[in-house]
Amino acid sequence: MTRATGDAGSGCTTQEDRRRRFGVRAGRFGTIDGVRLSDSHDGTWALFAKRGATLIDWVVPFGGGLLSLTDGYRSKTELYAQNGVRNGVMVPFPNRIAGARYHFGHRDHDLLPGVPEAERLIYHGFLRNLDLALVDTRAGEDGAEALFSTDAIRPGAFPGYPFALTVHVRVRLGPEGLSLTITATNTGHLTAPYAAGWHPYFRLGDGSIDTLELQVPAQACIVTDASLLPLSGSAAYAAIETRPELDFRTPRALGATMIDAALASVQPDADGMIRTRLRDPRRGCGLSVWQEGGLVHLFTGDTLARGARRSIAIEPVEVMTDAFNRSDCHTAIGLEPGASRSFRCGAQFRAQMEMR
């Protein structure tokens, strides 16, 4: 892959640029600073903000026009407000932590010191609110990618998290679709609790998601209390048959069901990848959302300030909600000093997709 050269956003085109299928351009897009990955052959493009390496939009050709596949933030104001955590990268923890407190490394930690009990809600980590550095861009015949980086997660930066992480997020657009590789390296002297996830909202048009078909090959679901926190121990797991509203092993329409739940024991395809599939049965187009291991969290967007039930969050996550407080997750979340861990996920669009 050839590294992109030239002044970001300058509009200069070289002979080498014209030979490339894929392109990459950094700059300001409306009010958002970011990077645009594009496919000159068919007009596909994806825009990522430097803020949190957040996907703003992903557009593909379909039906004689262009189809937006995500419901991202529309402005810098929305991006900074973070309602719904649209398309956010979740680091160093996905979803919420009970009461914003956890016990790790023989110590109690408080992520919201001084905050009253009724207001102690924290979720989806710190990265989504950070401005990342764009440290590399590359483009060529096989794809375009950008690498974002930050070392802002360090002792003293965030209450209750006295650990040091360097985080890289590599985003890629290629013939196979869109992908993210989230990598964290523990640069401190203490074992750090850490897990990653992605919170994309997908759509296949501008209408309600109720008629879209969903398939998730999950054998179990995570059982939660009224605060959406998993129950203790083995009580957190239940066979998917016990929750028919969450059973999408056989593809079916979402309907009007409100969902905010995690599915577990998701069966991988022959290549080892877990895939969740979303399809518009009227037009036949669909998305395959893939991930290397972990759980799938679904949220039908019923409480979004804008566009309720106009998209569905299909969230690849490494661990369940409140993993920092679960002894059965400590091995999975522990990141030793000097160690690195990566989590890969992404999505592929098909103009005609068959459910399995």
Q: What is the pLDDT of residues 285-321, one digit of tens each?
A: 999 999 999 999 999 999 999 999 999 999 999 999 9
Q: State in Å, rounded, how far the first CA of the chain is from the last one.
A: 34
Cβ neighbour number for residue 235 with a 10 Å cutoff: 9
Q: What is the pLDDT of residue 19?
A: 60
Mean pLDDT of the chain: 94
Q: In this model, does residue 183 exceed pLDDT 60? A: yes
Q: Which residues pair with 347 in a beta bridge?
A: 178, 289
47 pLDDT more than 60: yes
Taking the C-alpha atoms of residue 264 and residue 267, their distance in angstroms, rounded to an integer, is 9
Average of per-residue pLDDT across 256-272: 97
CA distance 274 to 272: 7
185: Cβ–Cβ under 8 A, 6 or more apart, which residues? 165, 166, 167, 338, 339, 340
Place 18 in a pLDDT band, splitting at 50, 70 and 90: low
- Sign of the torsion angle spanned by Cα atoms 343, 249, 174, 129: negative
Q: What's the average model confidence in pLDDT over 147-161?
A: 98
pTM of the entire structure? 0.93
pLDDT at 123: 96
Closest CA to 329 of 243, 264, 272, 274: 264
- The correct CATH number of 2-350 out of 2.70.98.10, 1.25.40.10, 1.10.10.10, 2.60.120.10 is 2.70.98.10
Q: What is the pLDDT of residues 107-139, one digit of tens each?
A: 999 999 999 999 999 999 999 999 999 999 999
CB 308 within 8 A of CB 295: no
**Residue 194 token pair:** 């850490």
